[in-house]
Every structure is written in C-alpha cells, then in structure tokens.
Amino acid sequence: MTDSLSSYESAQTAEPIANRKSESKNRFVEPVILIRRMAFGIAIATWMVMAIGSATRVMNAGLACPDWPLCYGTVLPAEQMNLQVFLEWFHRLVASSVGFATIVLFGASWYFRQELPKWLPWATSGSLSLVVFQGILGGLTVTQLLRFDIVTAHLGTGLLFFSSLLAIATALKSPKNSLNEQSSSQKLAWLGLTAALLVYLQSILGALVASQWALHQCFASQDMCIVLNAHLIGVIPATLASIALVVTVWLIKAIAPILRLVGSLAGLLVFAQVAIGYATYKLHLQVEPLTIAHQATGSALLGTLICFTVLAFRSSQKATQPSEQIQAQPAIR
C-alpha cells in the first residue's frame, strides 16, 4: 500500500515537470532569450532616439513642433513638413515606439516570471518607470521652451534608461570562464563601474554645454565659459579611467574572451570620442555631423562600459558561489 502511494506521488510530481519540458520544447524561443533580445533591441532603438535628438538640437528643431504630444495638432503634419519639423516629428515617433516596446518588455517579464530570474520583473519595472519619466521630460522640453535644466535631465534620464536595458540584457548572458579568470573579474568590475560613472557624469556636463550653447557663448562673449571648461576638464578623469580599464584588460592574461573583446571595444570608442570631441571644439560646432557623432559615440561608450561591468560582476559572483548553488541555478543561454 505504501509502495503504491509513493509511486503515485512520484508520478504526480513528475507529470508537471514533464509538461513544462514539453512546453519548453514547443516554444519557438525560450522566455529568457526572448527578454534578452527584446532588451537589446530596445536599447539599440534608444541609442537611435538619442542620436536623432542630438540632430534635432543641432538643427534648431527642438521647437519645430510647437505643441505636444501632437505636432501642429495632428499626428502627421503634412502641410507644415520640412526638415526641422520632420526631425522633431520623427524623434517623437521613434521615442513613442520605444515606450510601447518597453511596456511589452515589462508585461512579458511578469508573464514569464516563473521561468526567469527573480530580479528581472523588478528590473523591467524600473526601466518602464524611467521611460515614463523620460516621456514627461520630453513634453516639458517643448512646453517649457527648451529650458536648459529640463533638456539636461531629459538626456540624463535617457542615458539611465539606455544603461538599464543593456544591464538587463547583459545580465541574462553570463560568460563561461575558469576559476583563474573569475578571480580577476571583481577588480575589473569595479574599474568598469568607475569608468562608466565618470563617462555618465561627463555626458551630463556635455548636455549642459549643449543645452546652454556654452561653447558658442564662450567664444562670442566670454559667457558660460565655466560650463565649457568644466566639460573640458571632465574629459581627463573619464578618459584616464577608461584607458586604465583597457590597459588592465590586456595586462591580465586570465580573463574571459568576451571581457577582453568588450574592453577592447571600449578602448576604440574612447579614442574615437576624444578625436571627435577635439575636432568639434576646434570647428566651434560648425559641422553638424561631427556634433551628432560626438554625442552618439559617447552614448555607445557608456553602454559598452555598462555591458563590461555587468559581465565582470557576474564572473566574480560565480567565483564566490558554492558549486552546488551554481548547479541549482537555471541555465541562462
């Protein structure tokens, strides 16, 4: 009697496990892979939104649509359409698409929460909060006639949202490395985090320079030179921290290949950003594509440092976890 009851209970326990396995096989994409791809896709779209926003500012198109959220009271202002109106309208269009995609990401992470890491639904909730706040700031930039503090906060929130998406996507992909590689990852993680924070602060200073037209005013009438000089001085710690990270990555032999690759990419972006920034300064912001590339490269550098930091932290955590706990965790592909 006892044996038959035990057999029944084990069969009942095995049945839902078998059902879950069959459901997993029938799915076209695993939930964790789906969420990771969605987060990366939205992050790329967000980077494009920031680049378009930079083009909108450089072309003096920030108020080309005098109302918000519509443009000249309509969804598509065909009669008023010109280059400036198109830039502002297209910027809003892509930004709205990013917002709706983030809602889908938020919903999917909560719907599949039983099969995902526990932190993931809360992380996507934070990203959704950031994009909602970003939308509010976007409206205020128009209604408050491009007030410099709102414009700066608009870019700062956009960079935080962009970074959060990359952190989510990268955290869902852990590098496979040896114990020797894991032991050096914690130092690299803190170095990467320091570089990322300095680059973010430098980006905020750059937003202040742009929103107050500090470079033009400094050269024309010696006004706002303090803001411009703060941005120029901020280049030093951000660049040194990034270069220190790249040099450390190449000096340490026991390092995961993915960390070496991402660290090398950060090094290339640092040199490109410094070169573009120098050219932009020397040409007094007169070449619009250079100004746009300066902001876009800075955002790409920040995103690369965020990815590096998350990968390095995951590697260092693996080194401190007991082997039984690592084996118990669900595989993240």
Q: Which pLDDT tens digit goes with each residue over 248-283?
A: 999 988 788 899 999 999 999 999 999 999 998 888
Given a cut of 90, whether residue 17 has pLDDT beyond it is: no
Q: Residues 169, 180: one domain? A: no
Q: Which of 153, 59, 45 has the alpha carbon at shortest distance from 99? A: 45
Residue 218, pLDDT above cutoff 90? no
CATH number of the domain within which 279 lies: 1.20.120
Any domain includes 24? no
> Which of 148, 173, 198 is the C-terminal boundary of a domain?
173
Note the pLDDT tens digit of each residue in 307-317.
Answer: 999 999 988 77
Model pLDDT, residue 213: 86
- What Å distances lie between residue 102 and 81, 105, 106, 231, 292, CA to CA? 29, 5, 6, 32, 25
CB burial of 84-117 (b: ≥16 within 10 Å; e: otherwise) equals bbbbbbebbbbbeebbebbeebbebbeebeeebb
Total number of domains constituting the chain: 2
Structural domain contains residue 17 = no
6 is a domain residue: no
User: Is residue 160's pLDDT more than 80?
Assistant: yes
What confidence score (pLDDT) does residue 18 get?
46
Residue type (1 letter), 39? A
| Statement to judge: residues 69 and 126 lie in one domain | yes
pLDDT of residue 183: 60
Are 147 and 232 part of one and the same domain?
A: no
The answer as to whether 187 is a domain residue is yes
Confirm whether 15 is domain-assigned: no
Q: Is the pLDDT of residue 193 over 70?
A: yes
Q: Which tokens hold the place of 113?
A: 């929460």
127 neighbors 164 (Cβ within 8 angstroms): yes
Distance CA 260, CA 252 (A): 9
Question: Is residue 22 in some structural domain?
Answer: no
Question: Tens digit of pLDDT for each residue in 48-100?
Answer: 999 999 999 888 898 999 999 899 999 999 999 999 999 999 999 999 999 99
Rounded distance, CA 308 to CA 43, Å? 15
Do 153 and 59 have their domain in common?
A: yes
User: Taking the C-alpha atoms of 31, 34, 40 and 46 in order, what is their torsion angle to the nearest 10 degrees?
Assistant: -100
Range with the poorest average pLDDT among 18-27, 108-117, 144-153: 18-27
Please say whether the dihedral angle defined by the alpha carbons of residues 253, 256, 261 and 265, taken in this order, is positive or negative.
Answer: negative
Among the candidates 173, 193, 218, a domain finishes at 173
The pLDDT of residue 185 is 77
Q: Is 69 inside a domain boundary?
A: yes
Q: Find the domain containing 270 and state its range.
A: 176-333
Q: Are 36 and 105 in the same domain?
A: yes
Positive or negative: CA dihedral 57, 288, 197, 219: negative
Q: Answer yes or no: do 141 and 196 share one domain.
A: no
Q: What is the pLDDT of residues 108-120, one digit of tens each?
A: 999 999 999 999 9
Same structural domain, 204 and 310: yes
Residue 16 has pLDDT above 90, yes or no: no
Query: Residue 129: pLDDT above 80?
Result: yes
> Would the pTM count as exceeding 0.95?
no
Residues 264 and 299 in one domain: yes
Verify that 214 and 88 share a domain, yes or no: no
Can you name the residues that pair with 74 across neighbouring β-strands? 71
In a domain, 52, yes or no: yes
- Look at residues 120, 148, 173 and tell me which one is the last residue of a structural domain: 173
Residues sharing a CB contact under 8 Å with residue 80, sequence separation 6 or more, in sequence order? 71, 72
Q: What is the pLDDT of residue 15?
A: 46
Average pLDDT rounded to a whole number, residues 151-179: 87
Based on the fold, state whether residues 103 and 216 are members of the same structural domain.
no
Specify whether 194 is located in the same domain as 270: yes
Residue 279 shares a structural domain with residue 317:
yes
